[in-house]
Amino acid sequence: MTGIIVDTKAIQYHIGLSTQMLCEAKYAFLPGDPDRVNPIAAFLDEARELTQHREYRSALGYVDDIPVLVMSTGIGAPSTGIAIEELARLGVTHFIRLGTTGAIQPHVHLGDLIISEGSVRLEGTSGHYAPIEYPAVPSLALTQKLVEATKLQNFSYQTGIGCSSDSFWPGQERYDSFSGYVPKHLQGSLEEWQRLGVLNFEMESSALFIIARTFGLHAASLCGVIALRTQSEAVQPNVYAQVKERLAIVARDAVRLHHKAHGTPL
Ligand SMILES: O=P(O)(O)O[C@H]1O[C@H](CO)[C@@H](O)[C@H]1O
Ligand SMILES: O=c1cc[nH]c(=O)[nH]1
Protein backbone atom coordinates (compact mmCIF):
# COMPACT_ATOMS: atom_id res chain seq x y z
CA MET A 1 0.00 0.00 0.00
CA THR A 2 1.30 3.46 -0.87
CA GLY A 3 0.08 7.03 -0.70
CA ILE A 4 -0.25 7.66 3.03
CA ILE A 5 -1.01 11.35 3.37
CA VAL A 6 0.78 13.22 6.15
CA ASP A 7 -0.59 16.65 7.04
CA THR A 8 2.62 18.42 8.01
CA LYS A 9 0.69 21.55 8.99
CA ALA A 10 -1.20 19.67 11.69
CA ILE A 11 -0.22 19.49 15.31
CA GLN A 12 1.67 16.23 15.61
CA TYR A 13 -0.10 13.65 17.74
CA HIS A 14 2.64 12.87 20.28
CA ILE A 15 4.85 15.95 20.46
CA GLY A 16 2.09 18.56 20.21
CA LEU A 17 3.99 20.73 17.73
CA SER A 18 3.14 22.08 14.27
CA THR A 19 5.26 23.54 11.47
CA GLN A 20 4.10 27.01 12.40
CA MET A 21 5.25 26.61 16.03
CA LEU A 22 8.74 25.59 14.88
CA CYS A 23 9.41 28.87 13.00
CA GLU A 24 11.30 26.89 10.33
CA ALA A 25 13.79 25.41 12.82
CA LYS A 26 16.03 22.87 11.09
CA TYR A 27 18.12 22.11 14.17
CA ALA A 28 16.76 20.29 17.21
CA PHE A 29 18.53 19.70 20.52
CA LEU A 30 17.23 16.51 22.11
CA PRO A 31 17.80 15.92 25.83
CA GLY A 32 16.06 12.89 27.31
CA ASP A 33 14.89 14.65 30.45
CA PRO A 34 12.05 17.23 30.09
CA ASP A 35 13.59 19.15 32.99
CA ARG A 36 16.68 19.78 30.87
CA VAL A 37 14.71 21.60 28.12
CA ASN A 38 14.37 25.06 29.66
CA PRO A 39 17.90 25.20 31.13
CA ILE A 40 19.32 24.31 27.69
CA ALA A 41 17.03 26.78 25.91
CA ALA A 42 18.24 29.48 28.32
CA PHE A 43 21.56 29.45 26.44
CA LEU A 44 19.74 30.47 23.24
CA ASP A 45 18.52 33.98 22.35
CA GLU A 46 14.84 34.86 22.78
CA ALA A 47 14.07 31.45 24.27
CA ARG A 48 10.44 30.63 24.95
CA GLU A 49 8.54 27.52 25.96
CA LEU A 50 6.36 25.95 23.30
CA THR A 51 4.37 23.09 24.79
CA GLN A 52 4.43 19.79 26.65
CA HIS A 53 2.70 16.57 25.56
CA ARG A 54 3.56 13.30 27.32
CA GLU A 55 7.38 13.21 27.75
CA TYR A 56 7.92 15.78 25.01
CA ARG A 57 8.54 19.27 26.42
CA SER A 58 9.61 21.85 23.86
CA ALA A 59 11.11 25.32 23.66
CA LEU A 60 12.35 27.49 20.82
CA GLY A 61 15.27 29.90 20.72
CA TYR A 62 17.86 31.33 18.37
CA VAL A 63 21.60 31.05 17.77
CA ASP A 64 22.22 34.45 16.18
CA ASP A 65 19.28 34.33 13.74
CA ILE A 66 19.15 30.53 13.38
CA PRO A 67 16.00 29.03 14.96
CA VAL A 68 16.65 26.02 17.18
CA LEU A 69 14.13 23.70 18.78
CA VAL A 70 14.88 22.09 22.15
CA MET A 71 12.68 19.06 22.84
CA SER A 72 12.94 16.19 25.31
CA THR A 73 12.69 12.66 23.95
CA GLY A 74 11.88 10.92 27.21
CA ILE A 75 13.87 7.83 28.12
CA GLY A 76 14.69 5.18 25.56
CA ALA A 77 14.58 4.36 21.90
CA PRO A 78 10.80 4.04 21.27
CA SER A 79 9.96 7.56 22.44
CA THR A 80 13.05 8.91 20.68
CA GLY A 81 11.91 7.26 17.45
CA ILE A 82 8.52 8.95 17.71
CA ALA A 83 10.21 12.30 18.33
CA ILE A 84 12.33 11.98 15.19
CA GLU A 85 9.41 10.80 13.05
CA GLU A 86 7.25 13.75 14.02
CA LEU A 87 10.01 16.37 13.94
CA ALA A 88 11.13 15.17 10.51
CA ARG A 89 7.58 15.72 9.23
CA LEU A 90 7.80 19.28 10.52
CA GLY A 91 11.01 19.94 8.59
CA VAL A 92 13.73 19.36 11.21
CA THR A 93 16.82 18.00 9.45
CA HIS A 94 19.60 18.18 12.09
CA PHE A 95 19.25 16.43 15.45
CA ILE A 96 21.71 16.71 18.34
CA ARG A 97 21.13 14.46 21.34
CA LEU A 98 22.20 16.10 24.59
CA GLY A 99 22.25 13.29 27.10
CA THR A 100 23.74 11.89 30.26
CA THR A 101 25.72 8.68 30.32
CA GLY A 102 27.66 6.15 32.36
CA ALA A 103 31.32 5.68 31.37
CA ILE A 104 32.76 2.16 31.30
CA GLN A 105 36.43 2.93 30.54
CA PRO A 106 38.81 3.87 33.38
CA HIS A 107 40.36 6.85 31.56
CA VAL A 108 36.98 8.67 31.36
CA HIS A 109 36.16 11.12 34.18
CA LEU A 110 32.98 12.45 35.76
CA GLY A 111 31.80 15.52 33.85
CA ASP A 112 33.66 14.57 30.65
CA LEU A 113 31.73 15.01 27.43
CA ILE A 114 31.44 12.00 25.13
CA ILE A 115 30.95 12.76 21.45
CA SER A 116 29.71 9.66 19.69
CA GLU A 117 31.38 8.15 16.64
CA GLY A 118 28.88 5.31 16.56
CA SER A 119 26.68 3.24 18.78
CA VAL A 120 26.10 -0.43 19.59
CA ARG A 121 22.45 -1.20 18.82
CA LEU A 122 21.43 -2.86 22.09
CA GLU A 123 17.86 -1.69 21.62
CA GLY A 124 14.88 -2.85 19.59
CA THR A 125 13.56 0.28 17.93
CA SER A 126 16.30 0.79 15.34
CA GLY A 127 15.69 -2.77 14.07
CA HIS A 128 12.26 -1.63 12.95
CA TYR A 129 13.99 0.80 10.56
CA ALA A 130 17.05 -1.10 9.30
CA PRO A 131 18.55 -4.58 9.71
CA ILE A 132 21.07 -5.08 12.51
CA GLU A 133 23.98 -5.14 10.03
CA TYR A 134 23.32 -1.46 9.22
CA PRO A 135 25.72 0.72 11.25
CA ALA A 136 24.48 3.27 13.78
CA VAL A 137 26.73 6.19 12.91
CA PRO A 138 26.25 9.93 13.34
CA SER A 139 26.63 12.69 10.80
CA LEU A 140 30.34 13.38 10.31
CA ALA A 141 29.81 17.10 9.63
CA LEU A 142 27.67 17.68 12.72
CA THR A 143 29.96 15.55 14.91
CA GLN A 144 33.03 17.46 13.75
CA LYS A 145 31.38 20.69 14.83
CA LEU A 146 30.64 19.25 18.28
CA VAL A 147 34.32 18.37 18.61
CA GLU A 148 35.40 21.82 17.43
CA ALA A 149 33.02 23.59 19.81
CA THR A 150 34.11 21.41 22.75
CA LYS A 151 37.78 22.13 22.05
CA LEU A 152 37.15 25.87 21.83
CA GLN A 153 35.63 25.75 25.32
CA ASN A 154 38.49 23.61 26.64
CA PHE A 155 36.04 21.07 28.06
CA SER A 156 37.44 17.63 28.74
CA TYR A 157 36.00 15.18 26.20
CA GLN A 158 36.29 11.76 24.55
CA THR A 159 35.18 10.52 21.16
CA GLY A 160 34.35 6.91 20.43
CA ILE A 161 31.73 4.21 20.31
CA GLY A 162 28.93 4.06 22.88
CA CYS A 163 26.37 1.41 23.67
CA SER A 164 22.65 2.27 23.56
CA SER A 165 20.75 -0.13 25.77
CA ASP A 166 17.01 -0.73 26.08
CA SER A 167 17.27 -1.01 29.86
CA PHE A 168 19.08 0.95 32.55
CA TRP A 169 19.69 -2.13 34.73
CA PRO A 170 20.28 -5.52 33.05
CA GLY A 171 21.27 -4.11 29.64
CA GLN A 172 23.96 -2.04 31.35
CA GLU A 173 24.81 -4.98 33.62
CA ARG A 174 23.68 -3.33 36.84
CA TYR A 175 23.02 -5.67 39.77
CA ASP A 176 21.42 -3.07 42.08
CA SER A 177 18.03 -3.73 40.45
CA PHE A 178 14.86 -4.91 42.24
CA SER A 179 15.61 -8.57 41.57
CA GLY A 180 19.39 -8.24 41.54
CA TYR A 181 19.41 -10.63 38.59
CA VAL A 182 21.04 -10.07 35.23
CA PRO A 183 20.01 -12.69 32.64
CA LYS A 184 22.82 -15.03 31.64
CA HIS A 185 23.23 -13.61 28.14
CA LEU A 186 24.02 -10.18 29.64
CA GLN A 187 26.28 -11.37 32.46
CA GLY A 188 29.82 -10.31 31.57
CA SER A 189 28.54 -7.97 28.85
CA LEU A 190 30.01 -4.86 30.51
CA GLU A 191 33.48 -6.41 30.46
CA GLU A 192 33.02 -7.47 26.87
CA TRP A 193 32.07 -3.94 25.77
CA GLN A 194 35.08 -2.62 27.69
CA ARG A 195 37.38 -5.05 25.90
CA LEU A 196 35.89 -3.98 22.58
CA GLY A 197 36.74 -0.36 23.38
CA VAL A 198 33.21 0.89 23.99
CA LEU A 199 33.24 4.09 26.05
CA ASN A 200 29.82 4.41 27.62
CA PHE A 201 26.24 3.32 28.18
CA GLU A 202 23.17 5.40 27.43
CA MET A 203 19.82 4.61 25.85
CA GLU A 204 18.93 6.64 22.74
CA SER A 205 21.83 7.38 20.37
CA SER A 206 21.72 4.27 18.19
CA ALA A 207 18.01 4.68 17.42
CA LEU A 208 18.55 8.36 16.67
CA PHE A 209 21.46 7.58 14.31
CA ILE A 210 19.65 4.80 12.44
CA ILE A 211 16.37 6.61 12.01
CA ALA A 212 17.95 9.91 10.95
CA ARG A 213 20.35 8.18 8.55
CA THR A 214 17.66 6.06 6.91
CA PHE A 215 15.55 9.22 6.47
CA GLY A 216 18.48 11.01 4.78
CA LEU A 217 18.71 13.36 7.79
CA HIS A 218 21.59 14.25 10.11
CA ALA A 219 22.16 13.33 13.75
CA ALA A 220 24.89 13.58 16.37
CA SER A 221 25.18 12.77 20.06
CA LEU A 222 26.86 14.59 22.91
CA CYS A 223 26.60 13.12 26.41
CA GLY A 224 27.95 14.18 29.80
CA VAL A 225 29.36 11.53 32.12
CA ILE A 226 27.39 11.23 35.37
CA ALA A 227 28.37 7.67 36.36
CA LEU A 228 31.71 5.86 36.47
CA ARG A 229 30.83 2.24 35.99
CA THR A 230 34.39 1.10 36.62
CA GLN A 231 33.92 2.27 40.23
CA SER A 232 30.22 2.04 41.03
CA GLU A 233 26.74 1.39 39.66
CA ALA A 234 25.47 4.69 41.06
CA VAL A 235 24.94 7.97 39.24
CA GLN A 236 26.55 11.09 40.74
CA PRO A 237 23.91 13.87 40.82
CA ASN A 238 26.53 16.44 41.91
CA VAL A 239 27.90 16.70 38.34
CA TYR A 240 24.48 17.03 36.72
CA ALA A 241 24.37 20.85 36.76
CA GLN A 242 27.85 21.18 35.28
CA VAL A 243 27.10 18.61 32.57
CA LYS A 244 23.82 20.31 31.65
CA GLU A 245 25.55 23.65 31.18
CA ARG A 246 28.37 22.18 29.09
CA LEU A 247 25.93 20.34 26.82
CA ALA A 248 24.01 23.57 26.20
CA ILE A 249 27.11 25.64 25.47
CA VAL A 250 28.69 23.12 23.11
CA ALA A 251 25.47 22.46 21.20
CA ARG A 252 24.82 26.18 20.75
CA ASP A 253 28.36 26.83 19.51
CA ALA A 254 28.27 23.76 17.25
CA VAL A 255 25.15 25.06 15.50
CA ARG A 256 26.90 28.38 14.89
CA LEU A 257 29.96 26.61 13.45
CA HIS A 258 27.87 24.20 11.38
CA HIS A 259 25.74 26.96 9.95
CA LYS A 260 28.82 29.02 9.11
CA ALA A 261 30.42 26.09 7.30
CA HIS A 262 27.37 24.63 5.58
CA GLY A 263 24.76 27.40 5.38
CA THR A 264 21.07 26.99 6.12
CA PRO A 265 20.10 23.31 5.95
CA LEU A 266 17.53 22.49 3.28
O1 LIG B 1 19.79 12.04 30.52
P2 LIG B 1 19.15 11.41 29.32
O3 LIG B 1 19.27 12.23 28.09
O4 LIG B 1 17.71 11.01 29.60
O5 LIG B 1 19.98 10.08 29.01
C6 LIG B 1 20.25 9.01 29.89
O7 LIG B 1 19.52 9.05 31.11
C8 LIG B 1 18.41 8.10 31.08
C9 LIG B 1 18.63 7.02 32.11
O10 LIG B 1 18.81 7.55 33.36
C11 LIG B 1 18.40 7.54 29.66
O12 LIG B 1 17.55 8.31 28.86
C13 LIG B 1 19.85 7.68 29.28
O14 LIG B 1 20.14 7.61 27.92
O1 LIG C 1 24.84 4.89 33.81
C2 LIG C 1 24.07 5.59 33.12
C3 LIG C 1 23.95 6.98 33.34
C4 LIG C 1 23.07 7.69 32.57
N5 LIG C 1 22.37 7.04 31.61
C6 LIG C 1 22.47 5.72 31.40
O7 LIG C 1 21.79 5.17 30.54
N8 LIG C 1 23.34 5.02 32.17
Residues 169-225 have pLDDT tens digits of 999 999 999 999 999 999 999 999 999 999 999 999 999 999 999 999 999 999 999
Give the residue from 96, 82, 102 showing the smallest Cα distance to 16.
82
> Which of 203, 209, 235, 247 for mutating ligand 1's site (highest number of atoms within 8 Å of CB)?
203
On the question of pLDDT at 73 being above 60, the answer is yes
Instruction: Work out which ligand 2 atom sits closest to the CA atom of 165.
Output: 7
Of 174, 213, 246, 252, the active-site residue reads: 174
pLDDT at position 1 is: 45
142 belongs to a structural domain: yes
256 belongs to a structural domain: yes
Residues 110-146 have pLDDT tens digits of 999 999 999 999 999 999 999 999 999 999 999 999 9
CATH code for position 159? 3.40.50.1580
The answer to whether 192 is a known catalytic residue is no
Q: What is the ipTM of this complex?
A: 0.99
Alpha carbon nearest to ligand 1 atom 1, residue: 100
Global pTM?
0.97
φ/ψ (deg, to 5) at 56: -100, 95
pLDDT at position 265 is: 78
5 belongs to a structural domain: no
The residue segments making up the domain with residue 250 are 19-262
CA dist., res. 225 & res. 73, Å (int): 19
150 belongs to a structural domain: yes
Of 36, 55, 86, 173, the active-site residue reads: 86
On the question of pLDDT at 88 being above 90, the answer is yes
What's the 3-state SS for 55-107?
A: CEEEEEEEECCEEEEEECCCCCHHHHHHHHHHHHHCCCCEEEEEEEEEECCCC
